[in-house]
Structure 1
Amino acid sequence: MKLEICANSYRSAINAEKSGADRIELCSELSVGGITPSYGLLKKVSEEISIPVHVLMRPRSGDFCYSDDEFQIIKNNIKLCKELGFNGIVSGVLNTDNSIDIERTSELIALAKPLYFTFHRAFDCVPNPKKALEILINLKVDRILTSGLQVKAADGIDLLKELQSIAGNQLIILPGSGISIKNVHLFRAAGFREIHTSASKISSDEKNIYFGNNSQTVSDSETIKEILKVIK
């Protein structure tokens, strides 16, 4: 089983690599579900992290139905990530009824090639997950990051197993959301090939004053190592 760490900063990315994670999904602002990282973070990670890194393409928080301008921003960021040498893209677009926007998602997949393409947790908004799965199989995405349409993946594990059974070897179902040392054994026992977690802890520095909150969420080295002990 492979471990993908959702890293929200350079520090998180370094912790993931040094602790033995197989892959990183790089993003910013986990508190809103993640958005595309800044250019500075992208460049530094591309230069200094050696394990595969997939980059989240989400121009803002909120829904996954984008304006023409927002869609162009996504495409521009995909081109940038290809130039910087990243391994994969994590993205996806929905229609106003939360069904898969086939045309736009297909355009992003084509633009991202030859990078891997993961359809992100917009999947957890779809009204018909089995139909959405078939669409994404036909679009030839490499994996789907999903919690099984629940807040936590452990609560959606039955649907996750069903989706992976349907998908077979056509794509990877990547369970994510709330996976921790306390429940990771459930996903190993269920036979998933990969899992996704931030493995994070909250830290704060009382010497510094930030607007609203001085806490920081960071992927924790010891937590990553403990999870790897279970799944490897």
Structure 2
Amino acid sequence: MVTLEICVDTPAGLAAAIEGGADRIELCSALALGGLTPTPGLMHLAARAPVPVYAMIRPRAGSFRWSADEVEAMRAEIRAVRAVGLAGVVLGASRDDLTLDQTLLDLLLAEARGLGTTLHRAFDLVPDRAAALETAVALGFERILTSGGAITAPEGAAALGELVNQAGGRIAIMAGSGVRAETVAKLLDRGLREIHASCARPLPVPPDLALLRFGFALPSQTETEMEAVRALRRAVAGGDSLRP
């Protein structure tokens, strides 16, 4: 069976993902920035979801090199995830050379002990994906969210297939970025059994332009679309049924 994870950053997106058939939720704020740590209120709401919810642990946009203060913030965010009752966390950390920061990740994973753990797309920046996969296995991550080092997962399908083969069932490889109903078959054909997507649609530009002038809104915003989730769910189920 293929697991479908949908990333959301609003209550409406959470409801759409669940109704559309998501098997798991990645909960964030600010998906336009690649996803930041969700608010306490959104985590509280998501704790009532009928599917597992993993919260992004990322205190700011930009690089994945964290200061000591940011690490303390991340540890507090992990404790908040545990306290509210979510299933897991999504995190990552890089060194200056973009290799995974094994020491820092070990510290964060110790804080997250007992929760599910996903290594996020800091993995896509590493200079050696094969070595980084072995680091992720040694650290004890459940899965790696990756596009195979490409801008989108369909573009990185060949690399993703290589990662699945290297992983050999020791860690799950979850394909994410640019995944929709019309592109997912390319990933299933490479042996991917975890799929990550936003299934987002553009929202109209805010009619009140003052919102834009004051910086309270972005000129381009998106929201999770239930029908897009359903379409991807059908595509995943259909593709999976054709495989032994």
TM-score (normalizing by structure 2): 0.91
The offset of 1:13, in angstroms, is 0.7
Partner of 2:106: 106
AA in 2 matched with 1:231: V
Residue 71 of structure 1 aligns with which residue? 71
Query: What runs of 5+ residues in structure 2 fail to find an aligned partner?
Result: 238-244
Residue of structure 1 aligned with 2:233, choices 200, 209, 228: 228
CA positional deviation for 1:205: 6.3
User: Which residue of the partner structure matches residue 41 of structure 2?
Assistant: 40
Give, in angstroms, the shift of residue 53 of structure 1: 0.4
SS at match of 2:173: strand
Over the matched positions of the two proteins, sequence identity in percent amounts to 36
Q: Distance in 2 between matches of 1:73 and 1:24?
A: 22
Per the TM alignment, residue 189 of structure 1 is displaced from its structure 2 partner at its CA by 2.0
Contact conserved, 1:208 with 1:214, CA < 8 A, in 2?
no
- Residue 216 (structure 1) shift: 3.3
User: Does the 8 Å CA contact 2:160/2:190 hold for their aligned counterparts?
Assistant: no
Q: SS state of the match for residue 156, structure 2?
A: helix
State the match for 2:4 in structure 1.
3
Code of the aligned partner of 1:37: P
Aligned to 1:159: 159
CA separation in 1, counterparts of 2:20 and 2:221?
19
In the alignment, what sits opposite 1:143? 143
Q: Contact (CA 8 Å) 1:144, 1:172: kept in 2 or not? A: yes
Shift of 1:214: 5.3
Q: Is the aligned partner of 1:132 residue 2:132?
A: yes
Deviation at 1:75, TM superposition (A): 0.4
- 3-state DSSP of counterpart to 2:154: helix
1:20 is aligned to 21
1:34-58, CA deviations, whole angstroms, 9 ceiling, x for partnerless residues? Answer: 1111112112222x32211000000
Letter in 2 for 1:158: A
RMSD: 1.3
The one-letter code of the counterpart of 2:236 is: I
Deviation at 1:19, TM superposition (A): 1.3
Contact 1:89-1:118 at 8 Å conserved across structures: yes
The whole-number CA distance in structure 2 between the counterparts of 1:193 and 1:168 is: 12
Question: Which residue in the other structure is 2:85 paired with?
Answer: 85
The range that moved more, 185-194 or 98-107, is 185-194
CA distance in 2, matches of 1:81, 1:208: 36
Unaligned runs of 5+ in 1: none
Cα deviation, residue 215, structure 1: 4.6
Q: How far, CA to CA, are the matches of 2:15 and 2:103 in structure 1?
A: 36
> Contact (CA 8 Å) 2:164, 2:191: kept in 1 or not?
no
Aligned residues: 231
Q: Please list the CA deviations of residues 50-99 of structure 1 after superposition, one character each: whole Å capped at 9, or x if unmatched.
A: 21100000000000000000011000000000000000100011111111
Look up the match of 1:170: 170
Distance 1:101 1:196 in 2: 24
Secondary structure in structure 2 of the residue aligned to 1:154: coil
4+ residue segments displaced more than 4 Å: 205-209
Cα displacement string for residues 92-129 of structure 1 (whole angstroms, at most 9, x for unaligned residues): 11111111111110111121121110000000110111
Secondary structure, counterpart of 1:155 in structure 2: coil
Measure, in 2, the Cα distance between the counterparts of 1:162 and 1:214.
39
Contact 1:58 1:74 in 2 (8 A): yes
